[in-house]
Amino acid sequence: SVRFLRAVFDGIPDLFSIIDRDHRIVLSNYHGGFDYVPDDVRDGFPHCYRAYYGRDAVCEPCHAEEVFATGKPSFCEKFNPRIGYLEIRSFPIFDDAGRVILVAEHVHDITARKIAEESLAGEKERLAVTLRSIGDGVITTDTEGKIVLINKVAEQLTGWSQEEALGRHLSEVFRIIGEKSRKPCPDPVTRVLGSGITVELANHTLLVSRDGKERTIADSAAPIRDRESRVVGAVLVFRDITEKRKMEEELLKSQKLESIGVLAGGIAHDFNNLLTAILGNISLAKMYVSEGDKVHQKLVEAEKASLRARDLTQQLLTFSRGGAPVKKTAAVTDIIRDSVAFTLSGSRATYRFSMADDLWPVEVDEGQMSQVINNLILNADQAMPSGGVIEVGCSNLTVGADSLLPLRSGRYVVITITDEGIGIPEEALPRIFDPYFSTKKDGKGLGLATVYSIIRNHDGHITVQSTPGAGTTFTIYLPASGGGAIQADTEETADHTGKATVLVMDDEENIREVAGEMLKFIGYDVEFAGNGEEAVTLYRNAWESGEPFVAVLMDLTIPGGMGGKEAVRMLQDIDPGVKAIVSSGYSNDPILADYRSYGFSGIITKPYKLGDLKKMLATVTG
């Protein structure tokens, strides 16, 4: 019946209405039309713009007019201030002649959906902001491994933009290979989708970006599950650990050097004690033979060989904690010029200097720094068997907190040594500073390891860049000195005259004997002690007798007894002005590098020549 159909029509929760060309409501269901229409327009045929929108004029734009004009259905979404968001579908009603005479409208309230969409959009934006803020790369995929999301960091690391990556299989965008094998690694997302568990990459995995750049990465992939715990995709999180790996390798390299240093230091200590006796006796023997004598010439050759042995021992010492540099303020240009000229004497290679005029002074162990330059120049020379030019530069550099160099902020002097040689193979570059590693057939592998250790002990840094067939550049960064005058070398001194006695303390009898002979030759009287206890007793007796020693030559360490470190404090209790000279072939204490703070007035390292001892005594005794 009509009444039944009307009841059904009015019971529909959406608005259904018929509108004529004058915008009057010809027919409307009760719920959809009149439950929000004011009482004063319930009777009659009100206009749709007044009944539904409370307006006095036609809406702009009007979807009903559009249907009357085109004869085609219309769809739009609109905001009604009385209800909220509406979805409006309008359909033409034709007469027998095919003319549009009425428009039927179906209006559905979509306010709840719009609120949900806005909430979802807000969540999506927050997710996007979170992903942009994450420092790691993030990629999500569907169950087929196709990319559905990629954040900015992932874009940068892979070289693929989001627009390019979406829809592609992960393996196209995320290319990984083994660091050593160079073979493709299994796709982590495929493993996750197959197993449903979280997986991580193996160590030493490289990500190859779109432009071919390789980065060491760490990553993990996990399944994405819905509310029913079904796997609906996977998320991959990865980060660039290239710099971290470099730092770990640097630490490992340092630890390897320290391990070798423990062994090397012990060998060097014993070797230097032997060399002290050998070199000292040679120095004395030369004094008793005229320079033109063949014996004198042989002694000179023996002395040169002993000095070369001393240099080798110094390389071993550099690996040990006892090889700490004995620093003083110096002009690095003088060290560089002398070392380069000496090393390239007789070579086919030539050299060219580029030194800044206003270089800051540096605090260095001149002997060790000469060793650094000698080794690097020798390497450059050997890389150019047919000759070439070695460029040696020196400049100032201020390192800031934002620098990528592994250095503290501050002032540095930068030394560069560039050759035109054969270069270093790319695979060898990470190992060139390793002890006993060499690219040369007859190389010992100590030169660059020594260089690395010396620079490290000077709180500096060294880098290398090389192109096979084009040459190599080593760059050294040395902390600049805080100031102070550059010390000049002590001038040659005359032999001592007048009565004065020096106390020699050493547990090695042959060293006591040769040191005593050299001191007597210079003009001093000598007394001997085998350990710290004897030295303190002899010094106290001499002090109380009114004939104190003018200086004490003390071995730093005495196995099983009191060494110089402990004895010098006791001597200061007796005589605050004691002139103590520390001597050692090896020490794992930082005394040699900072001897004055321990109470010593001077330092002489084993082995030493007659001239070295003579200069040191002149300096200490004034």
Tokens of 216: 């060491």
What pLDDT, in 10s, does the model give residues 107-127?
Answer: 888 888 888 888 888 887 887
Of the candidate ranges 191-195, 225-229, 315-319, 351-355, the one whose mean pLDDT is the lowest: 315-319
Of the candidate ranges 17-21, 25-29, 190-194, the one whose mean pLDDT is the lowest: 25-29
pLDDT score, position 210: 92
How much of the chain, in percent, has pLDDT values that exceed 70?
89
Cα distances (angstroms) measured from residue 448 to each of 374, 427, 472, 540: 11, 16, 14, 48
Cβ partners under 8 Å of residue 120, min gap 6: none
Q: Which fold does the domain 134-240 belong to in CATH?
A: Beta-Lactamase (3.30.450)
Tokens of 590: 């930082």
Domain with CATH 3.30.450.20 in the chain: 2-114, 134-240
Nearest to 77 by CA among 30, 111, 33, 41: 111
Nearest to 608 by CA among 304, 325, 279: 279
What would the mean pLDDT of 345-372 be, rounded to a whole number?
A: 88
What pTM, to 2 d.p., does this model score?
0.45
Ranges 300-314, 507-521, 588-602, most confident: 507-521
> Percentage helix, strand, coil, to 5, in the chain?
40, 25, 35
Confidence of residue 389 (pLDDT cuts 50, 70, 90): very high
Confidence of residue 412 (pLDDT cuts 50, 70, 90): very high
pLDDT score, position 158: 94
Residue type, 311: D
pLDDT score, position 315: 63
| 486 alpha-carbon distance from chain centroid | 33
What pLDDT, in 10s, does the model give residues 159-168?
Answer: 999 999 999 9
Under 8 Å between Cβ of 316 and 309: no
The CATH number of 2-114 is 3.30.450.20
pLDDT score, position 488: 41
Residue 492 has pLDDT above 60, yes or no: no
Confidence of residue 486 (pLDDT cuts 50, 70, 90): very low
Residue 333 has pLDDT above 70, yes or no: yes
Confidence of residue 487 (pLDDT cuts 50, 70, 90): very low
CATH superfamily of 332-479: Histidine kinase-like ATPase, C-terminal domain (3.30.565.10)
What pLDDT, in 10s, does the model give residues 415-437?
Answer: 999 999 999 888 888 888 877 66
Nearest to 344 by CA among 392, 306, 312, 311: 392
Is 312 or 573 the better-scoring residue by pLDDT? 573
Cis ω before 361 (30° cut-off from 0): no
CA distance linking residue 566 with residue 356, whole number of Å: 46
Under 8 Å between Cβ of 390 and 344: yes
CA distance linking residue 479 with residue 469, whole number of Å: 33
Nearest to 413 by CA among 396, 437, 391, 389: 396
What would the mean pLDDT of 63-75 be, rounded to a whole number?
A: 92
Domain with CATH 3.30.565.10 in the chain: 332-479
Torsion of CA 110, 112, 118, 123, to 10 degrees: -140
The 3-state secondary structure of 174-225, one letter per residue: CEEEECCCCCECCCHHHHHHHHCCCEECCCCEEEECCCCCEEEEEEEEEEEE
What would the mean pLDDT of 147-163 be, rounded to a whole number?
A: 92
CB contact burial 339-369 (16+ within 10 A = b; e otherwise): bbeebbeebebebeeeeeeebbbbbbbbebb
Of the candidate ranges 221-235, 368-382, 484-498, 590-604, the one whose mean pLDDT is the lowest: 484-498
Nearest to 25 by CA among 5, 11, 41: 41
Residue 280 has pLDDT above 70, yes or no: yes
Mean pLDDT, rounded, of the chain: 85
pLDDT score, position 323: 55
What would the mean pLDDT of 196-201 be, rounded to a whole number?
A: 86
Highest CATH level, class, for 501-621: alpha beta
Confidence of residue 155 (pLDDT cuts 50, 70, 90): very high
Of the candidate ranges 6-10, 91-95, 450-454, the one whose mean pLDDT is the lowest: 6-10
